Structure 1
Amino acid sequence: MSEKEFKLVECPRDAMQGLHDFVPTALKTEYLNLLLQVGFDTLDFGSFVSPRAIPQLADTAEVLANLNLDGTQTKLLAIVANLRGVEAAIKHQEITYLGFPFSISETFQQRNTNSSIGQSLVTVEEMLSLCARHSKKAVVYLSMGFGNPYGDEWNYEIVEKWADILVSKGVEIISLADTVGISTPEKVKEILPKLIAKFINTEIGIHLHSTPADRLEKIEAAYYSGVKRIDSALKGFGGCPMAADDLTGNIATEDVINILNLKGEDLNLNMAKWHEAMVLSERIFG
């Protein structure tokens, strides 16, 4: 692999969470087990949140119990939204990463986790402490990192301020998240290089949502910005049900793979298993 050493994070959890019809646990498990064989660095597989908030993910613990981790190097990431979720997730040795959505939009933080930014920072501190004691790593998503639709103040200085605070608390992985697809290639190229240059000991990733029309330009912008950790979802499925009624999809993994291959990056993926997962996805997403 090139000096960039890409970490591809596949996000079936993000893709499925907004689906209206419940996906049977056995089908979820079959799909995730295929994705585990592809060779991604990380699989964002589930979430320990209230089943009332995200009914689709109420079976995360059961799904986890049926995952086949033999022979895979892919690490598991679970999303948590409060201390109760953290305490549930850390009980599972199979999980490497706990992801927390930390919004720099006060409106969205309340909407997404029913807590203020200040309260969420306390949750992050508690999560970091528990992760350290249970050999887990925290991934903090800097949500609404490219702006927000709520009229909350946004500028690069606010992004950098919260990144600085999180790093000072001990966060080692920050993923800049565009929850509603408001980013542009220009914003990506403006913000990411500054963050990567300032926080040289922090892993800076990107979690973009997009419409199909501008996916490729955003991926290209992220690549040339020097990002090494890229979140995406097969076929661009999904979005955040807490953010909008009309979901803006994820960046499509196949687009990320194609662009990185064209750049000469050796991703070392099992494309046969990837194509099997593409076929199986039709039973989940239609």
Structure 2
Amino acid sequence: MNNRVFLTECPRDAMQGIKDWIETSDKIDYLNRLLKCGFDTLDFGSFVSPKAIPQMQDTAKVLEGLDESETKLLAIIANERGAEDASQFERIHFLGYPFSISETFQLRNTNATIEESLKRVEAIANICHKENKELVLYLSMGFGNPYGDAWSSDLIASWSGRLTQLFDVSRLSLSDTIGAATPELVQQVFSTISAEFSTIQISAHLHTLPENATKLTEAAYAGGCRYFEGAIKGFGGCPMAKDDLTGNMPTERMLDWFAEQGIETGIKSSEFAEAFVTSSKIFH
């Protein structure tokens, strides 16, 4: 076997942009199936304004119905209030905050400037420390942006350094929010960041077109990435990015490539197959 990889399944990311209400019981059933699969982490819900993301307003109720599992739970939050709400639940392991190196997108996604977001992250990091939670920072627009803001791989490295020096960060998730990344760019960025920040988990959260999934997975792995995030069938993406064509990395495509390479994922194939079938009740 080659090096082990660790997978995060992101049903929250897949569900959040769906306008038709998904019944809480259906969410619980689907998530419980995912919790049996052997994922390292499950991005299961978010504590954000129901006006911004109506689909996630039942996250606390969903959490009550989840079975015990060795899979760690991650909740997305957008401010201190969300962090306080999420941290009241002992079951939640990670709190994730989307930090964009694009000023324009940071305002669109969290209604805060980059400097205001730094203050938020400081408060969130303090809450994590107090409540024994681990902080995950998503570097959104990590592979370019369409807004004309400055971008370069050096800028990613600079922000990664600044954030990890200022705050106790467990995981940096490099996020291709709009599907801008090429395999060459993905390998270059991960090669730089993985080598420079070897004591922190560096994760790939790549929104993409399905036909690009395998090449991007291969490129991230070649660049030293060992933490990968996706969603079954590639559903989802960022509702704030306004790109209906770009979805999440399809988990099954990643699993196929890892299997072909003899790379261990820890995923139980029969349980994953059941979750894959059940996903059709959620995503149409």
TM-score, structure 1 length as denominator?
0.97
CA distance in 1, matches of 2:269, 2:153: 38
**Residue from 251, 254, 263 that aligns with 1:253:** 251
**Residue from 218, 221, 232 that aligns with 2:219:** 221
CA distance in 1, matches of 2:205, 2:93: 19
Question: What is the CA distance between 1:247 and its match in structure 2?
Answer: 4.6
Greater Cα offset, 22-31 or 262-271: 262-271
- 2:119 maps to what in 1? 122
- 1:37 maps to what in 2? 36
- 2:231 maps to what in 1? 233
Residues 123-162 of structure 1 mapped to structure 2, 5 A cutoff? 123-162=120-159
CA distance in 1, matches of 2:173, 2:76: 13
- 1:206 maps to what in 2? 204
Question: What is the CA distance between 1:172 and its match in structure 2?
Answer: 2.8
- 1:189 maps to what in 2? 187
Question: What is the CA distance between 1:133 and its match in structure 2?
Answer: 1.3
Cα 1:112–1:247, aligned 2, differ >3 Å: closer, same or farther? farther
- 2:107 maps to what in 1? 110
- 2:56 maps to what in 1? 57
- How many residues align? The count is 283
CA contact (8 A) 2:4 2:264 kept: no
Question: What is the CA distance between 1:245 and its match in structure 2?
Answer: 4.6
| Residue deviations 1:89-145 (CA, integer Å, cap 9, x gap) | 100000000000000000000000000111111111111111111111000001100
SS of the aligned residue for 1:23 comes to coil
CA distance in 1, matches of 2:202, 2:265: 19
CA distance in 1, matches of 2:107, 2:8: 26
CA distance in 2, matches of 1:27, 1:125: 36
RMSD of aligned residue pairs (Cα, Å):
1.1
TM-score, structure 2 length as denominator?
0.97
Question: What is the CA distance between 1:53 and its match in structure 2?
Answer: 0.2
- 1:84 maps to what in 2? 81
CA distance in 2, matches of 1:273, 1:157: 41
Specify every segment of 5 or more residues in structure 2 that has no aligned partner in the other structure, as ranges.
none
Q: 4+ residue runs of structure 1 moved beyond 3 angstroms?
A: none
Cα 1:114–1:65, aligned 2, differ >3 Å: closer, same or farther? same
Specify every segment of 5 or more residues in structure 1 that has no aligned partner in the other structure, as ranges.
none
Among all aligned residue pairs of Structure 1 and Structure 2, give the percentage whose two residues are the same amino acid: 49
Question: What is the CA distance between 1:5 and its match in structure 2?
Answer: 2.9
SS of the aligned residue for 1:172 comes to strand
